[in-house]
Amino acid sequence: MVAFVSSILWRLTLFQYACPQFRGDRGNEIMATSNSLNVLLREKSGRSASRRLRRDDHFPAILYGKHTEPEKLTVDAREFTKLLRSISGRKTIIELRQAGKDTPALSFLQEVQRDPIKDIVLHADFQEIRPDEKFEVEVPVRVFGECKGVRYQNGILEIATHSVRVRCLAKDLPGAIDVDISALEVEQTIKVRDLPALDGVEYRDSEGQTIVACLQGEKEEETPAEGAAAPAKK
């Protein structure tokens, strides 16, 4: 039960972009293809302009990068929701297509702001990247397997880190880092140094940073056998 609850909490925390679960086969997928999103340049800014956009099922966004000036954008909310569903919790390259521009801007989704009550997107940040230049980005960590320490040793599974920072080219960007916890026993940990080696991908976090740990659970109290005499009171 503890492992199940920990897994659910981890998934909810990890994917703040509104994905309920991960889909697809296990593996550290390399994003060879990109997802695309149609955007428009936004002329007006401010709260009033943003409210008008949201009434029309759109929302404001921004594209920024170290080589270009920030661009204010308008995004269709319905198209954006479909994009999030297709991404399904992975970190992936997004092609931002603007009318009048022949070449789309390569980017990844940096942040999404949501209304906690209405559950609508208020704003999105996209970071522009170049295909021939390495960049750093947070990539989600996904655990899988049935932890040995939880099942047989009364352990408690603790997810210490929900993402890791990597440096790579766009073509080598992993959608997620998969971590097999099947052999993890009580008082054992999986650290950054234990993560799978991926071609073209460099882990930027400390090698000693803990990803997953199996902690010692509370020991079950022994119950007296049926018919045994109760201990005498002093």
Tens digits of pLDDT across the chain (234 residues)? 434 333 333 333 333 333 333 333 334 544 445 689 999 999 888 888 888 988 999 999 999 998 888 999 999 999 999 999 988 778 899 999 998 888 899 998 999 999 999 889 999 999 999 999 999 999 999 999 999 999 999 999 999 999 999 999 999 999 999 999 999 999 999 999 999 999 999 999 999 999 999 999 876 665 665 655 556 655
What does the DSSP 8-state code read for residue 194?
G
d(CA 82, CA 121): 13
Domain with CATH 2.170.120.20 in the chain: 136-216
Q: 136-216 in CATH: which number? A: 2.170.120.20
What are residue 202's phi and psi, to 5 degrees?
-115, 125
Q: Which residues contact 89 (CB under 8 A, 6 or more apart)?
A: 11, 14, 15, 17, 19, 21, 22, 23, 140, 142, 176
Token pair of 160 as six digits: 């210490």
Residue whose pair of structure tokens reads 């992936």 in the numeric block: 92
Domain with CATH 2.40.240.10 in the chain: 35-129
Token pair of 186 as six digits: 């009580």
Q: Which CATH class is domain 35-129?
A: mainly beta
Is this structure's pTM higher than 0.75? no
d(CA 101, CA 68): 15
d(CA 112, CA 192): 27
